Structure 1
Amino acid sequence: PYWTEEVKGLSLSKINVTLVGKQSLDLSIFSPCEREKFEARVGPWPRGPWPRGIIPYKFDCALKSIQKARIKNVLRTIEAFTCLKFVTYTIKKGRTTNQRRCLRHHRYVLFSEITKEVDRVKYRKRRLVHPDLETSHSRYYQMKTLSNFNRCYDRCNHFKIKCENDGYLTLVYGRCACVCPSGLDPSTGCRSVFTSAMTKKDLYPSGPYALPLVNSSADCPSQEFDKKRIQFYIDSPSRNGPKSNQTYVLFYCVHTRKGWPWIQWPLGSYCIFLTTSRCPRKGFQWSHTIYLRKSDRYAGDTGLQFIFLCCKRSGFAEEEMVLPFKLPFTLIKNWKSRCRPAKGMYLEHSKPIPYRVEVETETEVEVKKNSHYTLEYLGGEKINLCSYRPALTDCGGVFRLNKTSSSYSFYFSNDREIVQCTWLFKATETEYSRLVLDIENVAIEHVSDWRKCTQYSRRVNELEVRYQRVGEPGISVCGTSFPKSIISERNTLLLRLITVGRQWANFTATVRAIEPEDMCYSMKDSGRTYVGDVNFTRDFEPCLPWSETTECQIHIFNPKVFNTVLDGNKCRNPNPDVKIRPWCYTDKKDCKWNYCDVCLIGRIYDTRLDCYKTGSAVDCPIYGCAKTCSHVLPKVDAAPTVGRIRCDRPTDTFVGAEPILPTIPRDTFDVGESLFYKCQNKKKLLTKRFCLTNGQWSSLGGSVCLYNDTYCADMWPRCAELIKKYPSFCRIFRFTGMPYGMCAFTCGKCRKTQTPRCVVKRGGRLAVLRRKQGLAAGDRVHRGTSVSYRCRLTRWARYLPDSGNKVRACLASGRWSGSRLTCRNVCLRSWKYNQENRMCYKKIYKRQSYIKALGMCLTLGGELVSLKSQDELRFIQDLKDGAQIWIGLDRLLSVTNTTENSATFSDSGENDDPGWFWRSDGSRPLFANWRSGHPFSKSTNKHCVVMGYSGWWKSLQCLRAFRFVCQTPARWSKKFS
């Protein structure tokens, strides 16, 4: 794994990491920079861990200093939380770093910048790769993988505490310790939540150093610090006269005692005051000098006062710092960096301390120039502070659910206090148990839409739910309601509440455990054997048929998923190695998918806020208004529980294949169990059949026995059914192996004589054969061959299908699938035809007002588009291609003189509202897709409707200009009418 962090537009994702080694080619003739570019790669990374955890590395000479600094920052972070150590690869006296350290290999890591020669892959930024992975910079599991791969735990054999709940044992700052997900306590092996109770005395890094205080009333973190102050003044310009002096007092805490040597300053981006001439050794690389004009009440100006700063910049901005401070304390903010959060502490930005530089001698100027950074490093003439206050962490806990106690409910309120609470729930029966969370009585932040909690950047209180893995960032819960049920992907679920005390935050949570035998699919195979009837996602989105997702990875013709029953648009899991439960596609353009709640254990809820407007409509939209439109929700019963389903021993036979029965005879098999089948001629070829949730056995799912000269059979019983529904699948998917391995007989791929044969027929009325096929009427073709037809095309119009099939396949019976194609309908060539309602549509790209759009459609012989069903809405959504268009829906009483150049309309008045109706036939809209907050009232003078980018309708003023779509019925051909 590698890490990225943005700084000044630079990202480590632009750095190429190459594993290189010794070369047999003499590169001495090249320059040093060219020599590195010609170094050959030595294949993949080593299979085993790096010897002794030492990784030699080297920088490309073309890298800039800022790039090298960012890479070193990442390497130092890895060294702090793993057993790895990065050393510079050098050659001294003919011996490399690997030889001097006896590493038994000659490889090292080369960091270079990715050049323009690298191919770029097109990727949509808005494409959802995984619906359960939030966009975050969390690197917890990357660090865990890196540590476990290099066997860092072998160095901690003496460590007696076992790390649980996704924690892992590694070296932290050179000492063995458990690393836990945020919210869990490492001192207990991640078995309990983090609390403010300290079992030992607070330990602080060794001095000397000093920390600033926010004001005079603030106390030092502990008795090890001495409170001091310094008084200074700055010259500020006055409006009425000369400059006036303003006096400031800076309070700070000085630590001079020697602490424990293993207590290190944590990784972060901050500064501290220096009381001696040297900065702390570990991690502090940059020091700066501030010149203050010292002031005394009686003596006046007493000269310059020097304040030295030691700054540190390491780690990642979102990682929490672990400090022993349990009282309020303050650190100095580093230049152009965010204040790092601290574990168990609330972070707030304090009022900056102003200062002005007074330099009088050349010596002082030299001191300023020789410092690593100028005074602009601290943001001009202000010292920015990061203040930390302890939070209430003595709340929450770890709760274990089992069959005896399968549910737990609790209510929590922060009472306007600073809170960091963690609740960890764990189903202890088996690893296949799942947890269901229902949240009620929510009052967290004033957010109107609970789905936009992540986008609400001004929130200060947050309830995070981690239902994938406890170390992976979860979803945010806010607002006054959260109707959705959250189902964990494993047997753990974590809730974490963070508040700042300025607002109330309360909620009621109910967590219940679901055991594997109570589910409607087998948890062991992640629902691969599920064959239920649920055809909508957990967000109540309609599923797409698997036959229409051929541009995506999974579809009905994919040979890798033959043993999965991809039936219609039902939820399935053909790839259990990647997905953890049944799922389906919801958008074939972007291959967007989502999981399904096939067992119907979650709550039915609404995601839109205006569902009350469409609750009584005939075409009530299920997606977004599932609870309001529950009366039109498909009546789908969950499959019976897996614990009560059994499959009998299979009795069906396949030509050339026989099952391998278990040694101990069995009459029944559990769901998810499998049987192997072998080929009689090739005994090494094996494949599985699975026991499905309907008590039946799956198909063989692959080529157990390939065709030969003696026999020819289909290994999939649905081949004959599939070729009738999709006549060209034998030709389109001939490269996938399906026609040969699965449907050899149906597709006519057997080596023996192909009989019977089909005679190619002519097309029906106004239909002809496609020329590219090279076929003519009367030719003979073998079974599995598909023949395509098309409608005739003229210069001014095109004929459209009226009945029949465009593609027909030769069946095993010697007959053709489907019926003969006949063409009759006519659309102009610039218009697009919709076969569902037999209408022609044309998109006008020129922006016009609503009145002119009506007139232009009349001039073209049509009318402004009307949408009366969800299918028509999807068709126009694809046709408009993301633009905003007028639709023929308004609430105008009459429209007169509607021509392209001039038009007038009469309104009904301010108070009389005739309601909305379609301009095409004057009917009321039974189907509507209004955006939240629309339509506006009559008094707003917004009487016309625009279809937005995402398909929602909104009422706007009729004089605004938008593109539009015209429609007209498909006309019959005069020749055959």
Structure 2
Amino acid sequence: MHGVMLLRVISLLTLILLLAAHGNAFRTPSETNGYGEVTDDSNMEHHMIRERVKRRSRNCSIDPSIPDPSLFGLEKMRYWAEEVMTRSLHRIKVTLGGKPSADKGDKVEVKAGPWPRGIIPYKFNSTLTRNQKKGVKNVLRTIKAFTCLKFVAYMNKKRQTANERFCLRHSRYVVFSEITTRVNKVQYRKKRPVNPDLELSHSRYYQIKALSQANECYGCKKCKRLKINCENHGYLTLVNGRCACVCPSGLDPSTGCRSVFTSAMTEKEFYPSGSYALPLVNSLADCPNKEFDKRRIQLYIDPNSRYMAKSNQTLELFYCVHTRGGEPRIKWPLGSYCIFRTSQRCPRAGFRRFRTVYKYDASNTEAKPLFFCCKRTGFAVDEMVLPFKFSFTLIQNTRGRCRPVKGMYHERKQIPYQVEIKTEVEGKNNSLYTLKHRKKTVNLCSYRPAFTDCGGVFDLNRRSSSYSVHYSNDRDIVQCTWLFNATETEYSRLVLDIENVAIEHVSDMRKCTQYSRHVNELEVRYQQVGEPGISVCGTSFPKSIMSQNSTLLLRLITVGRQWANFTATVRAIEPEDMCYSMKDNGRTYVGDVNFTRDFEPCLPWSEMTHCPVHMFKLGIFHTVLDGNKCRNPNEEIKVRPWCYTEKKDCKWNYCDVCLNGRAFDTRLDCYKTDSVVDCPIYGCAKTCSHVLPKKETNRRIGRITCGRPTDTFVGTEPIADSLPPNIFYVGEAIMYGCKSQSTLRHARFCLTNGQWSPMGSICFDDTAYCTDMWFRCPELIKKHPSFCRIFREMTSFMCRFTCGECEKKTKPQCVVKRGGRLAVLRKKQGLAVGDRVCRGTSVYYRCRLTRSARYLPDSGNEVRACLASGKWSGSQLTCRNVCPRLWKYNPENRMCYKKFNIRLNHFKASRKCSTFKKAQLISLKSRDEWRFIQDFKDGDQIWIGLVRLLKVTNDDPGWFWSPDKSRPRFANWHSGHPFPKSTDKRCVVMGSRGWWRSVQCENNTYRFVCQTPVRRK
């Protein structure tokens, strides 16, 4: 519960407390799972509590201004619970603002306000286990440390409620119940991140910030005296009971987050006061400062003990005892660590006492105890604030990684014991000792100061639109921070171009990846400066990075004398220089770019009906969805134009439609691509830059205008108040209304092509009801004959005439026809040959089913729709036997595939495929075939037919597809593959994520997929 589980809880807990802080008193129904619910009892127990409160004190009476759920009734509580579960973030903001509900006729205003005095009573549901309760308490301690909120138990042993004890004048409290969620759990196979720009990490910076601001921690008594403004995404709150700024990593709180954190910011450093001792790694290490005295303890080993070390008979532990000085106001931070206890009590900072008895043999009666003060709170990624100018050591209290300290580098070390350690513990068990190689060890966290006097905060505008960063490593431990702000407007953006990079990555991972943490790395935070960014390491990073807002942060971390050099340029882009409107996040963009910022090809919007956004969904700006072009129909969620890149998992990515970034190559064989014909931009965008669309400076957003629209619609007219100018800029709108129904409104927007967004009639009266509100309805029913039946909202609102929602008895009508060769009507639709159906009706056909043969569509359409002309869409379905039994057909390349779950080496797998007629190991000669196999193999590692028999040379890499001996024109190599210096026979395995790796053919066994051409007619 100390890692991933806690961070899944905190986002849900944040929403609950935000809603409660704004006065929402609701109770979730018992059948609904939730981690927390704000509850106000309305039963007999609630009545008795209120009566006791009134009797105990006149000053503790219930405040009538606070909403009481008993006055709303059960119906209102169910209504609010449903609203919170179903509304979008925008609708929740409207509700919390006290505005009338747009969905209900009655006006229900909610009074806003924080929790009184920041005290939140809570209790646990009986379904929670002990570990779950422990995890929730850890979250509450973290929130308490960085906010003005205090969590108290709702009921004490005397059966007194917290509302009574603290005179809260209300009866609300929070109930924590059980929850199970897999949101953002990418360790599960086939789970993908929700947003490609958000790393699935353990960050909770903005969630704690939202809680602090919602409860007005900046206005508490301690913060009113502190006259400081926290900038650069920082915020003012209580930190361990003291008012201070909380800043993103790398920024200095003492300056209001206006400068980077450097060692020169603090002249004097003080450790927490009290009696305690810190361990030392060895005898040569020194104590941090003059507040400590260096001492040692000697433990003797029995010469006859079987646990004795060969060379030494004594074990010495060195430590530093805190004897003088210290700052009483400084408390030990949240973390998971231990210190030595030198008195009867531990420092007042949430420590627990432990006592470990040292014995070198079970028969020995003499023992030396070691006393500890341990704590295990907070999260593993939280930075602890301690003196950082001198080295020190803490005892690790978990088996994971050490907690970071601001301005220092942490390293895990171990002290092995050559003797038997038997522990006697006061209180609960601890994790001080681990068993390694049959020897017990003590884990230590050694901290060394880092060089932080580098970097800075830089403002970019029209006068100074770019800045170059040059860094060359000449220090042992470095932590540098560069923060860039585009100060011209809130819609300005920053673009990072890394020209040269050489950062040696030291990590447990085999390669340098952008979403993994490394010891040496350049972290780029372009989404939010308070959230973790992507890692840059290795010797190449060709792509450009555009910020999602007007800030961008670079953070360099290096350890040791490894090479770490980079040169980068940050440039500001103003809204007028973009090719779409930044105010609407590119909603009105209708350009022709159909590839992502990584140059992946976009998929057609019409084929993504199983995804959250598609061209048949209402409530979004779906009228601009065309082909496979980059668009942003839901500007409230996405921040710029985007498109889907994978059909199965609805994977999407942003597009660089203005071509502000650089073109780059990721494939190793781009030099072999044809420079004129079939030059693939995905993987070879730099080499194939001649096929990319040209960046047109004359199509900048500031130069595109729309004239006054002249087209008319049935029963619809523009509203006069929305037509004052004769020239409209991109993103500006004209409101249209219905002549007969004045309450109906519809907006038309000026698009980036200088045209107005399409629109039809918006009226529902007799004169305009049986019309299409979208001119593309006849086109859509031809491409997707079943959309009238599947998407009923689109049918009843946008395409009433085409889908036959009105005037059903009038002509035209269609007659149901027979299927083609080996094709029949589906039985469950209730139609027979010769029946008459009205327009918009879809008829389904299928191939015949037999046990001996596999019949698949050969030509025609499986679904046909009755058009407004009285004819059928598409053509007649015909089927034929194309694949052997249990083989899967790919209509794109007309091949049949079968997966074998047995593990063989490459030679035996190829021989197994040859036992079938005209079958062989798969050959992936295009990205479409690669995508088909990636979905078909279901996450397994498989052999492919790519082999190399010859020695690699610069002119001939030696790879070919067996058995046709053709050279590969498509490749998807993993980083570092293929090995250029190997001279033996190599084969290729396709990994779980689709990357190719070259391995030895005979010594490795994998599953495999065979392919065979379709049978001829």
Does the alignment reach a TM-score above 0.5? Answer: yes
Would you say 1:371 and 2:426 are equivalent positions? yes
Deviation, structure 1 residue 103: 1.4
User: 1:918 & 1:443 partners in 2: Cα distance?
Assistant: 36
Match in the other structure for 1:75 = 140
Contact persistence 1:619–1:927 (CA under 8 A) = no
* Residue 716 (structure 1) aligned to one of 769, 774, 779: 774
Would you say 1:268 and 2:312 are equivalent positions? no
Match in the other structure for 1:744 = 800
* Residue 1012 (structure 2) aligned to one of 964, 967, 970: 967
* Residue 730 (structure 1) aligned to one of 763, 788, 795: 788
User: 1:794 & 1:10 partners in 2: Cα distance?
Assistant: 50
Match in the other structure for 1:349 = 412
Contact persistence 1:838–1:970 (CA under 8 A) = no
- Pair 1:454–1:721, CA change in 2 (3 A): closer
- Pair 1:494–1:888, CA change in 2 (3 A): closer
Q: What amino acid does structure 2 have at the position aligned with 1:159?
A: L
Would you say 1:317 and 2:377 are equivalent positions? no
User: 2:905 & 2:560 partners in 1: Cα distance?
Assistant: 52
Deviation, structure 1 residue 662: 3.0
User: 2:306 & 2:195 partners in 1: Cα distance?
Assistant: 60
Q: Deviations over 1:795-834 (max 9, x none)?
A: 6446655554443333333333344445577555655444
User: 1:429 & 1:259 partners in 2: Cα distance?
Assistant: 46
User: 1:835 & 1:370 partners in 2: Cα distance?
Assistant: 68
Contact persistence 2:667–2:973 (CA under 8 A) = no
Contact persistence 2:578–2:658 (CA under 8 A) = yes
Contact persistence 2:280–2:319 (CA under 8 A) = yes
Answer with 316-325 or 552-561: which moved more. 316-325
Alignment TM-score, normalising by the size of structure 1: 0.83
Deviation, structure 1 residue 399: 0.3
Q: What amino acid does structure 1 have at the position aligned with 2:799?
A: C
Would you say 1:145 and 2:210 are equivalent positions? yes
Contact persistence 2:4–2:202 (CA under 8 A) = no
Match in the other structure for 2:683 = 624
Deviation, structure 1 residue 130: 1.1
Match in the other structure for 1:679 = 738
Q: How does 1:550-565 map to 2 (within 5 A)?
A: 550-565=609-624
- Pair 1:790–1:261, CA change in 2 (3 A): closer
Match in the other structure for 1:904 = none
Answer with 225-234 or 333-342: which moved more. 225-234
* Residue 246 (structure 1) aligned to one of 290, 313, 317: 313
User: 1:162 & 1:858 partners in 2: Cα distance?
Assistant: 74
Q: Deviations over 1:752-810 (max 9, x none)?
A: 75333334445556655444444445443322223344455666446655554443333
Q: What amino acid does structure 2 have at the position aligned with 1:716?
A: W
Deviation, structure 1 residue 968: 3.1
Deviation, structure 1 residue 856: 6.8
Q: How does 1:531-930 map to 2 (within 5 A)?
A: 531-609=590-668, 611-612=670-671, 621-630=680-689, 640-662=699-721, 665-700=724-759, 704-706=762-764, 708=766, 711-733=769-791, 735=792, 737-751=793-807, 754-763=810-819, 768-790=824-846, 796-797=852-853, 801=857, 803-821=859-877, 830-841=886-897, 860-864=916-920, 866-882=923-939, 926-927=969-970
Would you say 1:423 and 2:482 are equivalent positions? yes
Match in the other structure for 1:206 = 273
Deviation, structure 1 residue 202: 2.6
Give the superposed CA RMSD: 4.3
Q: How does 1:171-320 map to 2 (within 5 A)?
A: 171-198=238-265, 201-235=268-302, 246-247=313-314, 250-257=317-324, 259-288=326-355, 307-320=370-383
User: 1:664 & 1:637 partners in 2: Cα distance?
Assistant: 30
Match in the other structure for 2:107 = none
Match in the other structure for 2:167 = 102
User: 1:121 & 1:510 partners in 2: Cα distance?
Assistant: 33
Deviation, structure 1 residue 724: 2.4
- Pair 1:961–1:629, CA change in 2 (3 A): same
Match in the other structure for 2:193 = 128
User: 2:307 & 2:583 partners in 1: Cα distance?
Assistant: 81
Q: Which sections of structure 2, spanning at least 5 residues, go unmatched?
A: 13-32, 48-73, 85-109, 361-365
User: 1:406 & 1:198 partners in 2: Cα distance?
Assistant: 29
Q: Deviations over 1:345-382 (max 9, x none)?
A: 222335538597999xxxxxxxx857236797455865
Q: What amino acid does structure 1 have at the position aligned with 2:779?
A: E
User: 2:979 & 2:322 partners in 1: Cα distance?
Assistant: 66
Contact persistence 2:852–2:885 (CA under 8 A) = yes
Match in the other structure for 2:21 = none
SS in 1 for 2:352: strand
SS in 2 for 1:643: helix
User: 1:592 & 1:347 partners in 2: Cα distance?
Assistant: 37
Answer with 319-328 or 709-718: which moved more. 709-718
Would you say 1:160 and 2:227 are equivalent positions? yes
Contact persistence 2:648–2:935 (CA under 8 A) = no
Q: What amino acid does structure 2 have at the position aligned with 1:467?
A: Y
User: 1:859 & 1:941 partners in 2: Cα distance?
Assistant: 24
Deviation, structure 1 residue 611: 4.4
User: 1:956 & 1:240 partners in 2: Cα distance?
Assistant: 45
Answer with 530-539 or 820-829: which moved more. 820-829
- Pair 1:112–1:839, CA change in 2 (3 A): closer
User: 2:456 & 2:307 partners in 1: Cα distance?
Assistant: 62
User: 1:704 & 1:619 partners in 2: Cα distance?
Assistant: 46
Deviation, structure 1 residue 494: 0.5
Contact persistence 2:895–2:1011 (CA under 8 A) = no
* Residue 984 (structure 2) aligned to one of 940, 947, 966: 940
SS in 2 for 1:662: helix
Match in the other structure for 1:17 = 36
Contact persistence 1:446–1:480 (CA under 8 A) = no
User: 1:765 & 1:638 partners in 2: Cα distance?
Assistant: 56
Match in the other structure for 2:66 = none
Deviation, structure 1 residue 729: 1.8
User: 2:1000 & 2:594 partners in 1: Cα distance?
Assistant: 36
Q: What amino acid does structure 2 have at the position aligned with 1:270?
A: Y
Deviation, structure 1 residue 105: 2.1
SS in 2 for 1:339: coil
Contact persistence 2:941–2:1006 (CA under 8 A) = no
User: 1:442 & 1:370 partners in 2: Cα distance?
Assistant: 51
User: 2:187 & 2:571 partners in 1: Cα distance?
Assistant: 43
SS in 2 for 1:452: coil
Contact persistence 1:618–1:927 (CA under 8 A) = no
Q: What amino acid does structure 2 have at the position aligned with 1:192?
A: S
Answer with 672-681 or 252-261: which moved more. 252-261
Contact persistence 1:678–1:685 (CA under 8 A) = yes
Deviation, structure 1 residue 468: 0.5
Task: Report how many aligned residue pairs link the two structures.
Answer: 919
Query: Percent of pairs identical after alignment?
Result: 65
User: 1:551 & 1:170 partners in 2: Cα distance?
Assistant: 44
SS in 1 for 2:143: helix
User: 1:859 & 1:492 partners in 2: Cα distance?
Assistant: 61
Kindly name which structure, 1 or 2, has the bigger radius of gyration based on alpha carbons: 1
Deviation, structure 1 residue 518: 0.6
Answer with 319-328 or 629-638: which moved more. 629-638
- Pair 1:732–1:920, CA change in 2 (3 A): farther
Contact persistence 2:202–2:381 (CA under 8 A) = yes
User: 1:143 & 1:81 partners in 2: Cα distance?
Assistant: 7
User: 2:938 & 2:128 partners in 1: Cα distance?
Assistant: 43
Deviation, structure 1 residue 658: 1.7
SS in 1 for 2:645: strand
